[in-house]
A and B are shown apart, each in its own frame.
Chain A
Amino acid sequence: MTHGILSDILDYANRANPYPLYEELRKTPVFHDGSGPYVVSTYYEIQSLLHDPRLSSDSRNLAATAKDPLAGEAEEEAALPPSFLKLDPPEHDRLRRMTNRPFGPPHSPHRVDGMRGDLRAIVTGLIDDLGDPGQIDLVDQFAYPFPVTMICRLLGVPREDEPRFHVWADTLAASLDPDPDADPAERQRKTHDSRMELGMYLAGLIEERRKNPGDDMLSQLAAGHGQDESMSTMELLSTAALLLIAGHETTVNLITNGMLTLLRNPDVLERLRREPTIAAPLVEELLRFEPPVQLLPQRTPLVDIEVRGVTIPKGSSMWLILASGNRDPQRFENPDRFDPDRRDVQHLGLGSGIHSCFGAPLARLEAQLALTELARRLHNPRLLEDPPPYRQNAVLRGPRHLRIACDEVRA
């Protein structure tokens, strides 16, 4: 289905460094090879399209011919209705607004800020337990357990159930990935099963939270936190699944990509150690430089639209390559340079428009804190292999392992 440069991008062999391919792709800002998706790779076009009300995120608006099995889980609806990630307004807005009630302002303004202490304690504990400083797998020992512990605590999901939902979450994250090597039917079946099982697991949990509510988000969502609007049980399950997977599969990449980037730029790592206040702009630059979500494969126009002189027919599948837009020299000077002093970093790393990342403030705090503490506590850290082995996923791109060593773990 995909040829040439698109299959190169999806090819696992190029996972460690897709950026030269994106550069090639940007020569054709709207790329279409005749049968595959319309691929948009330049900053200003992506930015515009993310605010274009003619573009739908709802796969039910895809033309039948555009339902490329590579584009993901077309049949998931059989298990759970689509989450707000894949809905348009007004349903998207209503669900997102209600989900936000127990999470952020205006109704819960101190929720995320109030997690700072917990975040610090978890980071401290994980670094304390790193063990042999000569053999650290930063993914398994730190970057994965940290956000997972946090999302469990936030949602009210028992941490000890992690081995169960980890498998489902991995399968569902993989379903976002247009993997050319996967058998579509087999993948669809696995996706469906995982969604079903995750849904049943969450249904049980929500039932339990209804009986014994805590101060977690699931309890509050289940209690019908928003009185003026309502969320059905099925919608609640879809939303909970979305939060659990997203809170699970993205920040791990942000943290790992961050540490990898710092180890490749030792002067910046040293500066972060001396000057921890640069963590905030540094993470923004990281979101530009190595975004944890590389592309959005889920958009379709409701009407023929024209982008840079190319007519994209109604119902076509469109991919927006966020990671490419972030390296567009028309927008960012020296785009391939990692520069925490860069000004005006309006990156696409967390999307833009109504679908911009729901968990963004939490992801930001987690990454800032994780990188600052790793920089401070690991003495003379270095990569044991570069590039590291990557996960299969081209969309949620990040190392599967990051093996590092250091002289000692400081207190």
Chain B
Amino acid sequence: MHEVTLEHLKREGRIVVVGASLAGLRAAETIRDKGFTGSLTMIGDEPYEPYDRPPLSKGVLLGKSTAERTALPRRRAIDAEWRLGTAATGLDMAARRVKLADGEEVPYDRLLIATGVRARPWPNAAEGELDGVFVLRTRDDGTALARRLDAGPRRVLVIGAGFTGSEIASACRERGLEVTVAERGDAPLVGALGGVIGAVAAELQRENGVDLRTGVMVTGLEGDSTGRVRAAHLSDGTTLECDVVVVSLGAQRNTEWLAGSGLGAGPRGIACDAGCRAFDIRGIVTDDIYVAGDVARSPHPLFGYQFLSLEHWGNAVSQAETAAHNMLSVSTDRRPHIWVPAFWSSQFGVNIKSVGVPSMGTEIMITQGSRAERRFTGVYGYQGRVIGAVTFDNSRWLQFYQQQIETTAPFPVPFPTVDRRPDGHRPVPADFPDPSVPTHGPTITLSGYSPADRRMTFTPAGH
């Protein structure tokens, strides 16, 4: 891009951000920080200004806050035109226009797509419509679920023991509600952290009074004559009476609106390069469309240039900043998005944090603390190097292990630590489920190969 064009863009260009949540907001702020004085349009399908989602499954369900109080603070004024409550329905790449649900079209010079993900609904639509069946992703979901929990249901069924499902179960127990968790895998969190850590998560749930049922699927939900859910049928033949069901089966990427646009978007997200520029369906990188947040898939040099899709708060912020920076920079000033995956979860009074990509790990060793005490650090190894780490109430050590990942330090971890226990000297299989079996609620999805690899395939939406 010529300097002249860039200066013109910065001064009086048109930037459109589709997706008015965390990534969209932080990108908009960065865009203004970079001196962009042109028009900025924020398009969001929800009627609310950007809000923070993590509290919805924690503080909001615990009564520490409410879903209405989750609006995100601003780093600066962004002077944007807000189109809230209006979903984007299409993209014309040639004409550089975004189509909206109300029929209007918004032209752009640069487009940032940050449409994120939505909760995967219960597959049987009629059952999903029953009163008392919830998902938890949006502010409205949070309000509705919190209100129903306030009413004191007799039993809550949580379907899926990923992070969100486990947090919901934790909140229910803390409120004194009876809760059953049904998980098709062998343990909670098993898809993200493997069976060794999943076993600890299972103990935590059971110690806290959760009726945890693993290795089962919910085969059907049953309503009463008034349309209220009253029971669930499980694959082991049992029937469970419950008056609230929370479907927590992971997320789906919001890319359907891009079907037929020619952009490389599909159920696994929108592929982009390390600089957050979207690929078109031919595998050619665009120069005016950028992607950030949960909807993006981007190659990461630390993880063999595999395409990572991260449903992580910190990734959304970091990728948004990088996309915004690159959008307004000449090519030599652009930066790669090389954020090291990191997330947290708070459940049953334990703070769980992770860095790297544990799910790539084949082995794990507990380098500090003890699983029995629920305070430990687990390190994941892959092909002789450290690839990920998880802590339970041990987060002050985590940055050290992040450095180990960044420097591809050797695994098994060869050195002693201040809190190494006898069982922490040998690696054991990390025990991840067969990746070909779909799990719900993965927080890191690995897919595809480097942009140079011809095996990258495009899966159109809806197929």
A and B touch in the complex (CB under 8 A): yes
Known contacts A89-B368, A93-B375, A354-B396: A53-B417 contact under CB 8 Å: yes
CA separation between A141 and B154, bound complex, in Å? 64
Any chain A CB within 8 A of the CB of B369? yes
Least distance between B374 CB and chain A CB atoms (Å): 12
Question: With a CB–CB cut-off of 8 A, which chain A residues contact B396?
Answer: 51, 353-354
Least distance between B378 CB and chain A CB atoms (Å): 13
| Segment with Cβ contacts to A, from B34-42, B43-51, B181-189, B397-405 | B397-405
Any chain A CB within 8 A of the CB of B418? yes
The chain B residue with its CB closest to the CB of A353 is B396
B400 touches A52 (CB 8 A): yes
A53 touches B403 (CB 8 A): no
Any chain A CB within 8 A of the CB of B63? no
Question: With a CB–CB cut-off of 8 A, which chain B residues contact A353?
Answer: 396-397
CA separation between A354 and B375, bound complex, in Å? 13
Please, how many residues of chain A have a CB less than 8 angstroms from a CB on the other chain? Answer: 16
B400 touches A51 (CB 8 A): yes
Any chain B CB within 8 A of the CB of A310? no
B415 touches A302 (CB 8 A): yes
Any chain B CB within 8 A of the CB of A54? yes
Any chain A CB within 8 A of the CB of B215? no
For residues 408 through 448 of chain B, which have their beta carbon under 8 Å from a beta carbon of chain A? 415-419
CA separation between A166 and B369, bound complex, in Å? 38
Question: With a CB–CB cut-off of 8 A, which chain A residues contact B399?
Answer: 48, 51
Known contacts A89-B418, A302-B415: A53-B368 contact under CB 8 Å: yes
Any chain A CB within 8 A of the CB of B367? yes
Least distance between B234 CB and chain A CB atoms (Å): 35
CA separation between A132 and B370, bound complex, in Å? 60
Name the one of A90, A93, A303, A354 contacting B416, with C-beta atoms under 8 angstroms: A303
The chain B residue with its CB closest to the CB of A52 is B400
Residue from A53, A88, A90 having most chain B Cβ neighbours under 10 A:
A53
For residues 311 through 363 of chain A, which have their beta carbon under 8 Å from a beta carbon of chain B? 353-354
A90 touches B419 (CB 8 A): yes
CA separation between A388 and B368, bound complex, in Å? 47
The chain B residue with its CB closest to the CB of A57 is B418
Least distance between B268 CB and chain A CB atoms (Å): 35
For residues 71 through 96 of chain A, which have their beta carbon under 8 Å from a beta carbon of chain B? 88-90, 93
Residue from A56, A90, A305, A354 having most chain B Cβ neighbours under 10 A:
A90
Any chain B CB within 8 A of the CB of A55? yes
The chain B residue with its CB closest to the CB of A93 is B375
Residue from A48, A89, A305, A354 having most chain B Cβ neighbours under 10 A:
A89
Name the one of A48, A55, A305 contacting B418, with C-beta atoms under 8 angstroms: A55
Question: With a CB–CB cut-off of 8 A, which chain A residues contact B375?
Answer: 90, 93
Question: With a CB–CB cut-off of 8 A, which chain A residues contact B377?
Answer: 53
The chain B residue with its CB closest to the CB of A106 is B349
Least distance between B74 CB and chain A CB atoms (Å): 16
CA separation between A54 and B368, bound complex, in Å? 11
CA separation between A353 and B395, bound complex, in Å? 9
For residues 345 through 380 of chain B, which have their beta carbon under 8 Å from a beta carbon of chain A? 367-370, 373, 375, 377
Question: With a CB–CB cut-off of 8 A, which chain B residues contact A354?
Answer: 396-397
The chain A residue with its CB closest to the CB of B418 is A88
Question: With a CB–CB cut-off of 8 A, which chain B residues contact A53?
Answer: 367-368, 377, 397, 400, 417-419
The chain A residue with its CB closest to the CB of B349 is A106
CA separation between A164 and B367, bound complex, in Å? 45
The chain A residue with its CB closest to the CB of B377 is A53
Question: With a CB–CB cut-off of 8 A, which chain B residues contact A54?
Answer: 415-418
Least distance between A353 CB and chain B CB atoms (Å): 5
Question: With a CB–CB cut-off of 8 A, which chain A residues contact B419?
Answer: 53, 88-90, 93
Question: A48-B399, A48-B400 known; 8 other A-B pairs, CB under 8 Å?
Answer: A51-B396, A53-B377, A54-B415, A56-B418, A88-B418, A89-B419, A90-B373, A353-B397
Which residues of A pack against B, CB within 8 Å? 48, 51-56, 88-90, 93, 302-303, 305, 353-354
